[in-house]
Amino acid sequence: MVVTVIVLSTSSAWAQMAVPYPVTRGNSRNMMNPNARPPVEQRTPFEGSGVVEGAGPLGLAVNANGMSWKVKPDKNCKIEVTGTADPDFLKPGLWVKFNADIDKKTKATAPVNELEIVDQRTAMVNEKSRSGLTGADAGAKKGKGAATATAANSGPILGKITAYKNNELTLETGSGTVKADLGPNPSIKVNVSDFSWAQPGDTVDVKGWYMQPGAAMAQDIKVTIKDPLGENPKKKAKPEKKSAK
């Protein structure tokens, strides 16, 4: 059996994907069920870029070169969604991490000017890769959850927001409650592994394989958030120029 592997450039990948994977003797059932996954050796790989049209529980709707595609993540798909956010986007339930010095009252000794929004999955991966956090290992050994910097320590803080009021964050970490005041113009990054965070207009890069016309299975999805999450539309509006009299 001759297997044809197609490597497509990002500029034309999506347009050229409308070629079904090879059908050979023994896999005629795929003609009856176009959603059936072809054997690995018969998949037509691709990679391309597009713009998010929408996100649902099963995948992304992507527009590329004027065509609409349904992109479904494979069970082992690597998903990366990155961007920025405004302080107004912060709310209870979100996971965040930042570096700070924590006093004995479990509060940051100085305003936090840089932090990162993560999701629980990303948080767990980051925690597993850590080692040597002062004062954190004891909390983990007692079964209090992921290791994190605690009272009277310096280092990375990771936790879930339980309250955000008057510019003060309250987090529940693996070792207890931590509070921190935000600086006047904090830099907030977004780094999550959930494609449902994608918004229409965001750019997306996909690697995977063709399923059928208008549908693809992704093994790698990278979404770049176009506009800061939680940004007030009035900030983007340009003031009208006054006409000269």
The string over 197-223, giving b where at least 16 C-beta atoms fall within 10 Å of a residue's C-beta and e elsewhere, is bbeeebebbbbbbbbeeeebbbbebbb
pLDDT on residue 116: 96
Q: What is the pLDDT of residue 243?
A: 54
Q: Encode pLDDT of 55-66 as tens digits.
A: 988 899 999 878
Q: With beta carbons less than 8 A apart as the criterion, state whether 123 and 193 touch.
A: no
Tell which wins on pLDDT, 180 or 132.
Answer: 180
- According to DSSP H, which parts of the chain are helical? 13-16, 29-32, 120-128, 137-141, 233-236
Between CA 83 and CA 201 the distance in angstroms is 13
Domain limits of the chain?
A: 1-22+47-230
**Statement: residue 180 has pLDDT above 90:** yes
> Token pair of 22, please?
């090879």
Q: For residue range 117-156, what is the model confidence (pLDDT) as tens digits?
A: 998 777 766 555 443 333 333 333 344 444 344 445 678 8
Percent of all residues in the chain with a pLDDT value above 90, rounded to a whole number = 53
For residue 2, the model assigns a pLDDT of 39
DSSP 28: T
81: which strand partners? 192, 223
Residue 28 CB: number of other CB atoms within 10 A? Answer: 9
pLDDT tens by residue, 37-55: 666 657 898 888 999 999 9
The β-bridge relationship of strands 112-118 and 153-165 is: unpaired
Q: Can you give the pLDDT at residue 232?
A: 76
Paired tokens of 198: 């994608």
Reading phi first (left if > 0) and then psi (alpha if -120 to 50, else beta), residue 140 is in alpha
| pLDDT exceeds 60 at position 19 | no
Given a cut of 90, is residue 231 above it in pLDDT? no
242 backbone dihedrals φ, ψ, rounded to 5°: -80, 130
Higher-scoring residue by pLDDT: 58, 6 = 58
